[in-house]
Amino acid sequence: MFSFVVRRLAVAIPTLLVLVIISFILMYSAPGGPFNSERPLPPEVLANIQAKYGLDQPFWRQIVNYVWGVVSSFDFGPSFQYKDRSVNDIIAQGFPVTLTYGFWSFVVAVSVGVSLGVAAAIRQNSWLDYLAVGISVGAQVLPNFVMAPILVLTFTLWLGWLPGGGWNGGQWQNLVMPVIALSTSYMASIARITRSSMLEVLNTNFIRTAKAKGLPMRRVIWRHAMKPTILPVLSYLGPAFVGMITGSVVIDVFFSTGGIGQFFVNSAFNRDYSVIMGITILVGALTILFNLVVDILYAWIDPKIRY
Amino acid sequence: MTLKSKLMATGAAFLIATGGMVYADGHATHPETGETLASDQTFTYRDLDESPSIDPGVAEDSAGGDIIRDLFEGLYNQDASGALIPGVALSHEVSEDGLIYTFTLRDNAKWSNGEPVTAADFEFGWKRAASPELASPYSWYIELTTVENAAAVIAGEMDPSELGITAINDTTLEIRLTQPLPYFPDMTTHYTLFPVPEATIAEFGDDWVKPGNMVSNGAYVLTEHVPQERLVRERNEMYWDNENTIIDKTVSLIIPDENVALTRFLAGELNRTDVPAGQFPRLAEQYPDDIMSVPNACSYYYTINLTDTTNPALLDGNVRQALSLAVNRDVIVENVLAGGQWPAYTFTHWATAGFETPETPIAAMDQAERDAKAKELMAEAGYGPDNPLSVNLIFNTSESHRSVAIAISQMWKQTLGVETELANQEWQTFLETRGNQDYEIARAGWCADYNEASTFLDLMDTNSGYNDAQYSNAEVDALLAAAKTSDNPQAAYTQVEQIISQDVPIIPIYHYAAAKMLDDAVEGWPYENFQQKWYSKDLYIVAE
């Protein structure tokens, strides 16, 4: 296992490097630049700005300088758009916000999703099954950009219970709606995967044997059926977790949380190269990390898997 | 004096000392109007996006300008009507040749750390903003003031110390221009020309703009800033006019979606927000006390590529005139936009200070006459039902630009039989396409930098970097140059507008309006201020 982890981490470095280079090339090949605006800058002003940010250097040197800055001092450079901040500032401020609502969304999605899926499977074709399937289908077809305004209208305008947005240091009142809006579609997918996986497991021979031994149903489910049921869910949860904690532009736009999702999308529109790169590397690194975590959990849950 | 009369005298003295506010039922009243003030004087408003910077020397957008005008104060401020009123400067004198301005500064202006604001702070601020080292995207504004050596300093050919601004002593500031500029004092209300605290910048470097580090000289100080979420400024106890300031705290919240912002306004979380596109009529009916639409210093127009990369038909002046005539501006502003905008037949916004909208043939006709004339011109140019003209129109992705483009293409089709191919482009791609003259007709908008017609008309100069049509007319260039030094430039502006109305390098479509929802408890809003330069210190919230 240890050598597996070391091997995977060793592969992660060139993977990230390739990610950086491809992103850099794609970014520069998009038309426009970070300092274009409705009002084009006079050439001498533009020249000053480009010199300040090193954009007057040849392309290869910009990549080398960038990678060197990241590797040697973990410096992702200044933001070209938000001139009062560095990319490190932006990530340091926005990522904890995203991480907080992403984490709680994950907790809600997994706990509600798995419970619904299991309940539906063990009471297949009962009203509970239909209700659980109904909820998960409903949640799946209601995208968060529809969900978010409905929540704001209901809880802010009509009931007046919750603030319509903002972060306010992460108060629970500001967390409720982003968490509901972000978690519902993930919750629906988890419920469906859990249900079908559980149904499959319940029809296997070892479950029949367990039942034949006279074990109570609760024990059969928890002791024998749960672990194999969770395997396909787990492979979904790795990327889902990264998706949730690296920000959703819909959540950030509707609830004005100040999370990095909004910065990421704005940076693409504004050609804010350093912010695009910084967040791409962050998301890339987290994806690699959580895929590794999922693989390790796999081996832990399923003894048949050995690396 | 009896004890009772002594107490009364003390009470009266107290009332005078508190700026004339009297207290009744625990509420203060406004010193001039006598209105009862709300106990919570917090003004909260919506911003679309995080501003690129709140450093006066580096800032580049109008939302950032709203914040900076609260935090810093320049030589002059604008009042509710847009007229100049003293800021840090009390007055100024101009030399006979109009080239040397000498400002007298007040001696009681202070930074938020208690240090006095001096002429040297202005000198430092200007030189810093012009220096290539700071690389300010707004350094061109300093060049626009025609201050001595600005161009050479920005280009790095001269040291910033050579810039034509000198602090004669703490309260006297001299500025040397290269040409007389009658509207120069108006330009000093712009944030690029504000003072900045040298010692604080030296101590914190780029981080000086963060809460806790920032020292400012405006009516407010920065107390909280969470990018993409909120920015809070609170009263500056050191401000020279703090006694007459009523709003205690101003909060700008970043809410990218205008409909969410409207919901939050209706839920009472905001005092001001924008009216979402197309919702002005409905909101005006439902919330007549909370809605406002005032002139906003921008013009919306289509620019026509006049270079050899264009559609050759567009090089024919008759075709361009016909296209302009066939645009029914009334339908655009009343039915498509419905937000209080004004139809435009001139490039300069009608509400610009000192500008009288000139008579042009197109403005004098009604739409039926315009359509008839347009058909006639089109026929003269050789286009008609048998030989229809096809043009390409690009705009940047936006629902409202799309609606306008569709409406105009239909007008062209119905009146002139012109086939228009519409294409929307992502913002950066659009700017590049238009800037490289890789288009036939393109959407454009221009907002005034200062309240004078040249801020618009200078775009028609052959050498203007913003002349995307690449229009060139020696007569226009000469008129614009003459207007710069004239005491009464209106005649020149009238002629320029008449020439461009004839040549049609651009098709003016409408003059902007700022359509906002403003809580009716908020008073003191500068409705008459053309550039919508508002200062929190001039607002107050009345008790409801």
Q: What is the pLDDT of residues B360-394, one digit of tens each?
A: 999 999 999 999 999 999 999 999 888 899 999 99
Q: Where are the alpha helices (DSSP H) in chain A?
A: 2-29, 43-52, 59-73, 87-122, 127-141, 144-151, 172-202, 205-212, 217-219, 226-245, 249-255, 260-270, 273-301
Average pLDDT over residues B103-115: 97
- Chain B nearest-CA distance from A292, in A, is 32
Note the pLDDT of residue B5.
44
Name the residue among B254, B260, B427 with its Cβ closest to that of A254: B260
Give the pTM. 0.85
Instruction: Name the nearest CA neighbour of B197 among B126, B130, B121.
Output: B121
Read off the amino acid at residue B124.
F
**Separation in Å, CA of A83 to nearest CA in chain B:** 6
* Tokens found for residue A181: 């809006």
Chain B (95-134) residues lying within 8 Å, Cβ to Cβ, of chain A: 132-133
Instruction: For chain B, positions 221-260, list CB contacts with chain A under 8 A.
Output: 226-230, 253-257, 259-260
Test mutation, B228, B257, B258, B464, chain A, max A CBs within 10 A: B228
- What phi, psi does A295 have (nearest 5°)? -60, -40
Predicted confidence (pLDDT) at residue B277 exceeds the cutoff of 80: no
For residue A109, how many other CB atoms are within 10 A of its CB? 26
Q: Which residues of B touch A35 (CB under 8 A)?
A: 137
pLDDT at B381: 93
| Residues of B in Cβ contact (< 8 Å) with A84 | 52-55, 58, 206, 209-210
Categorize the per-residue pLDDT at B19 as very low, low, confident or very high, splitting at 50, 70 and 90.
Answer: very low
Q: Which of residues 155-174 of B touch A (CB under 8 A)?
A: 155-156
**Closest residue of B to A33, CA-based?**
B428
Closest to B131 measured CA to CA, from B153, B146, B157, B112? B153
pLDDT band at A246 (very low <50, low <70, confident <90, very high): confident
Q: Has residue B4 got a pLDDT over 50?
A: no
- For chains A and B, count residue pairs whose Cβ atoms are closer than 8 Å: 145
Q: How far is CA A152 from CA A248, B51, B229, in A?
A: 17, 25, 17
B426 touching A (Cβ < 8 Å): yes
Chain A residue closest in CA terms to B230? A166
Most confident of A219-228, A297-306, B8-17, B406-415: B406-415
Contact B229, B254 (CB under 8 A): yes
Residue A7: pLDDT band with limits 50, 70, 90: confident
Question: Angle at CA A195, nearest 5°, toward A191 and A201?
Answer: 145
Considering chain A, what percentage of its residues have pLDDT values greater than 90?
A: 34
pLDDT higher than threshold 90 for residue B49: no
Segment B502-510 mean pLDDT: 96
Q: How far apart are alpha carbons B466 and B458 in whole angstroms?
A: 9
Q: Are strands B540-541 and B291-304 parallel, antiparallel or unpaired?
A: unpaired
The encoded tokens of residue A247 equal 């920000």
Q: Using CB atoms, which residue from A49, A84, A253 is nearest to B135?
A: A49
For the residues of A60-117, what is the DSSP string, one character each?
A: HHHHHHHHHHHHHH----B-SSSTT-BHHHHHHHHHHHHHHHHHHHHHHHHHHHHHHH
**Position B287 pLDDT exceeds 60:** yes
Q: Between the ranges A162-166, B167-171, B424-428, where is the mean pLDDT highest?
A: B167-171
Chain B partners within 8 Å of A150 (Cβ): none
The Cα-based distances of B322 to B319, B449, B470, B485, B504 in angstroms read 5, 31, 20, 35, 9
Tell whether the model's pLDDT for residue A216 goes beyond 60: yes
CB contact under 8 A, B259 and A149: yes
Do A58 and A48 meet the contact criterion of CB atoms below 8 Å apart? no
Which of B61, B208, B222, B229 to mutate to probe the A interface, most A CBs <10 Å? B229
Q: How far is A42 from chain B (nearest CA, A)?
A: 7
- Interface check for B431 against chain A (CB to CB < 8 A): the answer is yes
Lookup: tokens for B452: 């004078």
Q: Which of A84, A164, A269 sits opposite B263 (nearest CB)?
A: A164
Mutation site, B58, B428, B434, B463, interface A, largest A CB count within 10 A: B428
* Res. A247 pLDDT band, cuts 50 70 90: low
Model confidence at B257, pLDDT cuts 50, 70, 90, reads confident
pLDDT higher than threshold 80 for residue A99: yes
pLDDT at residue A144, rounded to an integer: 84
Mutate to test the interface with B, among A27, A35, A38 (most CBs of B within 10 A): A38
Distance from CA of B151 to the nearest CA of A (A): 9
Closest-CA distance, A142 to chain B, in angstroms, reads 18
ipTM above 0.90, yes or no: no
Kindly state whether B481 is in contact with chain A, defined as any CB-CB distance less than 8 angstroms: no
Report whether pLDDT(B460) > 60: yes
Please compute the mean of the pLDDT values over residues A92-119 and round it to a whole number: 93
pLDDT at B37 over 70: yes
What residues contact A124, with CB distance under 8 A and at least 6 apart? A199
Which of B271, B227, B220, B246 is CA-nearest to residue B46? B271
- Mean pLDDT, to the nearest integer, of B464-493? 91
Helix (H, G, I), strand (E, B) or coil at B391: strand
Q: Is the pLDDT of residue B22 over 60?
A: no
- Taking only residues 58 to 87 of chain B, the set having a beta carbon closer than 8 angstroms to any beta carbon of chain A reads 58, 60
C-alpha radius of gyration, chain A, whole number: 24
Say yes or no: B444 contacts chain A, CB-CB below 8 A: yes
- Closest Cβ–Cβ partner in B156, B260, B444 for A165: B260
Confidence of residue B27 (pLDDT cuts 50, 70, 90): low
d(CA B368, nearest CA chain A) in Å: 34
Of A48, A84, A266, which has the smallest distance from its Cβ to B54's Cβ? A84
pLDDT category at B17 given cuts 50, 70, 90 is very low
Question: Which of A246-250, B26-30, B227-231 has the highest average model confidence (pLDDT)?
Answer: B227-231
Please state the rounded mean pLDDT for residues B333-355. Answer: 91
Q: Do A82 and B53 touch (CB under 8 A)?
A: yes
Q: How far apart are the first and last CA of chain A?
A: 6
Over chain B, what is the mean pLDDT?
91
> Does the distance separating the beta carbons of A30 and B428 come in below 8 Å?
yes
Helix (H, G, I), strand (E, B) or coil at B23: strand
Between chains, do A49 and B137 touch, taking CB under 8 Å as contact?
A: yes
Q: Is the pLDDT of residue A142 over 60?
A: yes
> Are residues B58 and A45, on separate chains, in Cβ contact within 8 Å?
no
